[in-house]
Structure 1
Amino acid sequence: MAKPAQKVTLSPSRDIPFDKLLLSQANVRRIKAGISVEELAEDIARRGLLQSLSVRPVLADDGSDTGKFEIPAGGRRFQALSLLVKQKRLAKTTPIPCIVRDANSAILAEDDSLAENMQRAALHPLDQFRAFVALREKGQGDEEIAAAFFVTPQVVKQRLKLAAVAPALLELYADDEMTLEQLMAFTVNPDHERQVQVWEAIKSSWNKEPYQIRRFLTETSVRASDRRAVFVGVKAYEAAGGAMLHDLFQGDDGGWLEDPALLDRLVSEKLQAEAEVIATEGWKWIEVSLDLPYGYTHGLRRLSGDPAPMTDDEGVAHAKLLAEYRALEEEYEGQDELPEEVDTRLGVLEVAMEKLEARPLIFDTEDVARAGAFVTLDRYGELAVHRGFVRPEDEPREEIDVHSGEPVADGQGGDVEASASNNAGGAMITFGGQALEETTADDEDEGALKPLPERLLMELTAHRTLALREAVGRSPDVALTLLLIKLVGDTFRTSNSAGSCLEASVRHVYMSAQASDLKDSVVAKLVDDRHAEWEADLPLGDDAALWDYLTALDQGSRLSLLAHCLSFGINALHEKVNPYGAGISASGLTKRMTQSDLVARAVELDMVEAGWEPTADTYLNRVPKARILEAVREAKGEGTAQLLDHLKKGEMATEAERLLKGSGWLPDVLRRHDLEALDGAEGQGASDDEIDPDPADSVDLPAFLTAELPGDEASKVAAE
């Protein structure tokens, strides 16, 4: 016979005056958590008590009723009510809804307190987001919602943004198939279709980090901190109809501009407008380019101008700034450390004075008529104008005729690389275009190693040429030896020199193919600084004065100047071989590269110290996967290379960049072959005991690469 189910009896509820209630010592909550009592009190004052208190009668020692009730469950609500009573916003005798448990119940008071706190389920964050949306749809504003739930309006905007993610992704988050951090990353781009595309692309990948999601969602956009955006201005971009993307959950440097084509058009229009204003100064030509390559002034003569004097207002402003600066210096003279606000003010004064002291140059009108200017952007997005450069064909006819003895036709400037237009001032404005990237062979070819792409070889050897130039420039003995090799060749071999009494000369070698980071490299800065120092000292305008200056130099200075000048003729560039005679032949290229190795050995060139390192942009993404694995294998060993073998090209390049950082690995074209031979000789003497049997053991690898590989014993056990 079935046992009848026991009927459940619930405790009765009743209203009890507040002054009859007291907090039970059986309440298990001891540690503060959640919203504060003050916020809970404000919430009760706004919407009333949403949940009754659980109480038990307090009995006297003899078991009689005292008329008081203790609260084992609901202590924080009682404390919030107490605060309202203390603030005289609630009367002491106000009836409080309570559930009254029998004083002699078999269930302990601690049991009630524990159950109330443990048997509740916290609201899922997605339900919070959707609840905020419901409140917004029913007419409540962000400020009103924020005040009701004691959060900031920014938090409200964030939760509303999370609720606006693609519904399919919200369902994944609800099923715990996506983390909150990943969901937050998807809010960067409001395009639901694109959000789903990105998730489909990465859901099976090892890398589903939020930063990767943000990168994919903004890969076709331009950061507001980009110099083009700084130059145009976000307001001007938005006024032209451009859309912005913003990240509400982390710093985004002002967001992303979603229409790069519109931005580029605005940059071009603004640069051209600036060029047209500069053209009214009377220049013969103006070249506009977003990026001027390293060595863009090669072959041009720079005009020397006089700094423009300050106006009366500028002079008064400068004197006032200088007086304040000196007064602060005198006031705090002798102190070991300046107060922070004083140090900041001195910095502001210095910048203001430097701005006034940086005077524009005034050029001779006749020189301006034959010279030109370059208009570009600096790295901070500011307009940069470099005035006063004369092309060889624009030099005065008389001067050229005397030196060359050849007739010169009138010219209007060099080749125009892009569209050009004459403005009202008559200047030819040209827009220099960037060289197109050559396409490489199939990056996914898993066959034998293919030769490096021509463009990449040219860029790599441009780095090496500039590093050699810097090294020879500080090595007078090597420069002198190099010059003697040239002179011996001219003296003892057939020479076709003409137009000069001495064939020895330096032709500034222009690197037509170069990576974007070359002009900002360490060696470029060293070369430019050394050149600027000599240029500041040399009296270049008068041959007689230059002769006197050079003859007065000490021998060490003369050799240093010789080395510097000779370094500009260094040409270690790999160039395309032309079998039909024009350009360089195969044998000529071999001879050039062999001699550059001799020079590199003489100056002890180290391309690692020169600042080159293999990154995804400079090398790894430019070569097939086999080349990437070869680099990792040479730097970290076969074991590490095998761990990367299964990755896709982009992931392999990224991980290889991390592994190769600081390793000193160089592609063959950048290596010193004499050092390779020396290392090989030393390696032959190593015993088997000295060789690490598994180089991967000592490499700091990410977790996904250190997991047991299929075939390992641990993997076999797991598979069973």
Structure 2
Amino acid sequence: MAKAAKTKKRSVPMIVFSRARDIPFNRIRLSDSNVRETDVEAGLDELTQDIDRREDLIQGLNVRAILDADGNETGDFETPAGGRRYRSIARLVTAGRFPVDGLVPCIVKKADAKTSAVDDSLAENVHRLALHPLDQFRAFKRMVDSGMTTEEVAAAYFTTPRYVEQRLRLSTVSPKLLEIYAGEGMTLAMLEAFTVNPDHARQEQVWETTQRSYNRQPWHIRQALTQTTVPASDKRARFVGIDAYVAAGGPVLRDLFETDNGGWLEDVPMLDRLVSYKLKATADAVAAEGWKWISVDISLPYGHDHGLRGLTGTGAELTDEERATRLALREEYERIEAEYGEVDGDLPEEIDQRLGEIETALDELANRPVIYDPADIARAGVFISIDRDGDLVVDRGYVRPEDEAPEVVEGDGAEADGEAGGDDADGEPAVRRTVITIGGQASEPEEEEEGDAIKPLPERLVIELTAHRTLALRNAVAGNPHVAMTALLHRLVLDTFG
């Protein structure tokens, strides 16, 4: 039986690319076939600066030979694809940075090209894909890691150092979340919110909770990532000062994408210790004045002075030097007001600043320290706290009912005098130590009680533990919608049928 004849496979014509050549710039001209005709100068400053910076072209010109009337090559070329690069090189020639006959790398279109010059020009401008933002973040990081500064990167890509810093921060987000962003699982605004906290585990935990939540707004993500921190606007942070907190080793979370008012202080126990140390130092200084007791707290409870008698002291008199200073300040203030009183609009900055300085100095002279009777100081106390702006508040002169001087009964003068005098058996005045309490706890350690009895936890620690428990319950409820719905239904039933 004869074998079947084998069918010959048809050969596929192979592609032959156009050749590359270096052509003197003065033998190249712009092609009328270039499709970019609108706003051709847009972005040329940046492109010219980039070529000048790297002293090279990333991509050569696409050119075609110019033919004479007989169809022969003239030795000159036109560029239908690469007009912007051509214009930038022309600018460098004018600026003396590139010779007019300098060699330019080109792709010379082959004679039997199947596409037109217009086709080539359109394809170069259409068939291009913008870089994914994530690739830009990573590219900036690689450039900085290789030795470039953020300022150099910003200058090279015509942006600001802050923009580069923001992109560098985005590249530090959890790799798991970056992949989700790359797959369009979250928006750029959401990814920016995750940069607030550098803890990858915490970022991923918040993302898992966010996925199960109806609220996926960036502000909600920021709130979740900073729940256990203290904002820099908190009065405790203002009282201690951010610089002092950082100097003590405290970390600060910052948001490079939104106004964060100074950020968030992450180490809350350290902040509270610094507050306590500073308040205790103030209390020790005030105790040297001879007060019987001092009560210190970050926030004094409402009615803390209820039932106490406030002392009435006398304001300290101004010295002759202080009076002269006050008079000079008032005269200067009146002179400035007379000079600029008729000026329309805002005052010059230096004049406005000087008026503020004068007002501050006059206020300090007006608020004179109050002088109390030493006998009253010995039985009275002081409240020390922090106001809402983080400023120290020292409120002196309060007498408790039990510390009031006993009434003298006729015939018992000797006993009363002895009781009020407080002398010891040798007739010497008794030395009293000011009792200082901070947050309801004595600042000095008490004598250890006998036995191994369990002592109550400090109030501040109880508050912190309660906050952590509340946060844990919130996360647990947020991660279990059916539990949240059941709890809500239970509350509604109680309120309705209670």
Which TM bucket (shorter chain)?
0.7 to 0.9
Of 376, 379, 382, which aligns to 1:373?
A: 382
| CA separation of 1:103 and 1:86: change in aligned 2, threshold 3 A | farther
Counterpart selection for 1:91 from 99, 103, 117: 99
Equivalent residue letter for 1:43 = D
For residue 226 of structure 2, what is the aligned residue in structure 1? 218
Code of the residue aligned with 1:166 in structure 2: it is S
Letter in 2 for 1:309: E
Determine whether 1:14 maps to 2:14: no
Residues 171-220 of structure 1 show CA distances to partners (whole Å, capped at 9, x for unaligned) of 11121112222222212111111111111111232212221111111111
Partner of 1:333: 341
- 3-state DSSP class of the match of 1:397? coil
Is residue 325–residue 349 contact of structure 1 (8 Å, CA) maintained in 2?
yes
Preserved contact between residue 65 and residue 78 of structure 2 (Cα < 8 Å)? yes
Contact map agreement 1:279 1:425 (CA 8 A) in 2 = no
Residue type at the aligned position of 1:195:
Q
The Cα shift of 1:30 comes to 5.0
Question: Would the aligned equivalents of 1:15 and 1:97 in 2 still touch at CA under 8 Å?
Answer: yes
Match of 1:273 in 2: 281
Check 1:138–1:284 CA distance in 2 against 1; reply closer, same or farther (3 A cut): same
Name the structure 2 match of 1:363.
Answer: 372
Whose strand fraction is larger, Structure 1's or Structure 2's? 2
Is the alpha carbon distance of 1:336 and 1:248 closer, same or farther for their aligned partners in structure 2, counting shifts above 3 Å?
Answer: closer
SS in 2 for 1:267: helix
Secondary structure in 2 aligned to 1:165? coil
- Report deviation, 1:148: 3.9
Partner letter of residue 434 of structure 2? A
Sort the Cα spacing of 1:162 and 1:333 in 2 relative to 1 into closer, same or farther, 3 A: closer
Is the 8 Å Cα contact of residues 17 and 96 (structure 1) preserved in structure 2? Answer: yes
C-alpha distance in structure 2 between counterparts of 1:294 and 1:23, whole Å:
82
Hey, what does 1:45 align to over in structure 2? Answer: 52
- Is 1:332–1:338's contact at 8 Å kept on the other side of the alignment? no
| Whole-Å separation in 2 of the counterparts to 1:124 and 1:400 | 92
1:380 positional shift: 0.8
Q: Is the 8 A contact 1:280 1:425 kept in 2?
A: no
Question: Quick one: structure 1 residues 345 and 101, their matched pair in 2 at CA, closer, same or farther if it must change by over 3 Å?
Answer: farther
Give 1:318 deviation, angstroms: 3.5
Letter in 2 for 1:84: L
Given the alignment of the two structures, is residue 185 of structure 1 paired with residue 185 of structure 2, yes or no?
Answer: no
Superposition TM-score, scaled by structure 1 size: 0.54
Q: Cα distance 1:338–1:232, how it changes in 2: closer, same or farther (>3 A)? A: closer
Question: How far does the alpha carbon of each residue in 1:234-269 deviate from its partner, in whole angstroms, 9 at most, with x for none?
Answer: 232233332222222222222211111111121112
* Alignment gaps of 5+ in structure 1: 402-406, 412-423, 435-620, 622-644, 653-666, 669-720
**Which one-letter code corresponds to 1:17 in the other structure?**
P
Q: 1:82 to 1:295 in 2, by over 3 A?
A: same
Amino acid at match of 1:426: R
In 2, Cα distance between equivalents of 1:109 and 1:385: 84
- Secondary structure, in 3 states, of the residue corresponding to 1:85? helix
Alignment partners' CA distance in 2, 1:648 and 1:11: 68
Of 122, 136, 142, which residue of structure 2 is paired with 1:114?
Answer: 122
The answer to whether structure 1 residue 76 and structure 2 residue 68 are counterparts is no
Distance in 2 (alpha carbons) for counterparts of 1:432 and 1:141: 48
Q: 1:365 to 1:52 in 2, by over 3 A?
A: same
- 1:253 corresponds to: 261
**Residues 425-440 of structure 1: pairs in structure 2 closer than 5 A:** 426-433=433-440
In structure 2, relative to structure 1, the CA distance for the partners of 1:34 and 1:204 (3 Å cut) is farther
Structure 2-normalised TM-score?
0.76
Return the offset for 1:114: 2.2
Distance 2:391 2:49 in 1: 52
SS, match of residue 407 in structure 2: helix
* Matching of residue 206 in structure 1 with residue 224 in structure 2: no
Distance 1:163 1:331 in 2: 57
Query: In structure 1, what is the equivalent of residue 31 of structure 2?
Result: 24
Paired positions, count? 429
The alpha-carbon distance between structure 1 residues 324 and 54, as it changes in their structure 2 partners (threshold 3 A), is farther
Over 3 Å counting, the alpha-carbon distance change for 1:243 and 1:33 in structure 2 is: farther
Aligned to 1:610: none
Worse-superposed segment, 73-82 or 341-350: 341-350
Check whether the contact 2:40–2:84 (CA below 8 A) recurs between aligned residues: no
Q: Structure 1 400/151 Cα, relative in aligned 2: closer, same or farther at 3 Å?
A: farther
Counterpart of 2:450 in structure 1 is none
2-structure distance, mates of 1:312, 1:103: 102
Q: Which runs of 5+ in 2 are unaligned?
A: 1-6, 411-415, 421-430, 442-470, 472-480, 489-494
Q: CA–CA distance in 2 between the matches of 1:40 and 1:105?
A: 29
Mapped to 2, the partners of 1:24 and 1:198 lie a distance apart of 57
1:228 to partner: Cα distance: 0.5
- Per-residue deviation, 1:329: 0.8
Distance in 1 of aligned mates of 2:103 and 2:368? 82
Q: What residue identity is the alignment partner of 2:53? A: R
Matched, 1:349 2:358: yes
**Residue 403 of structure 2, aligned match among 377, 380, 394:** 394
Alignment of 1:447-462 (within 5 A): none
Assess if the C-alpha contact under 8 Å between 1:58 and 1:103 holds in 2.
no
Higher mean C-alpha deviation, range 344-353 or range 54-63: 54-63
The CA distance in 2 between the partners of 1:303 and 1:249, in whole Å, is: 52
Deviations 1:500-552 (A, max 9, x none): xxxxxxxxxxxxxxxxxxxxxxxxxxxxxxxxxxxxxxxxxxxxxxxxxxxxx
Q: Which has the higher contact order (CA 8 A, sep 6+)?
A: 2
The answer to whether the 8 Å contact 1:186/1:195 transfers is yes
d(CA) in 1 for partners of 2:136, 2:164: 10
Please state whether the residue corresponding to 1:123 is helix, strand or coil: coil
C-alpha distance 184-312 of structure 1, shift in aligned 2 (>3 A): farther
1:395-453 deviation line (CA, Å, top 9, x unaligned): 2322899xxxxx9xx89xxxxxxxxxxxx97222123449xxxxxxxxxxxxxxxxxxx
Residue equivalent to 1:385: 394
Change in Cα spacing, 1:142 to 1:60, as seen in structure 2 (3 Å) is same
Do the aligned partners of 2:44 and 2:84 also contact (CA within 8 Å) in 1? yes
Amino acid at match of 2:314: D
Structure 2 counterpart of 1:15, one-letter code: D
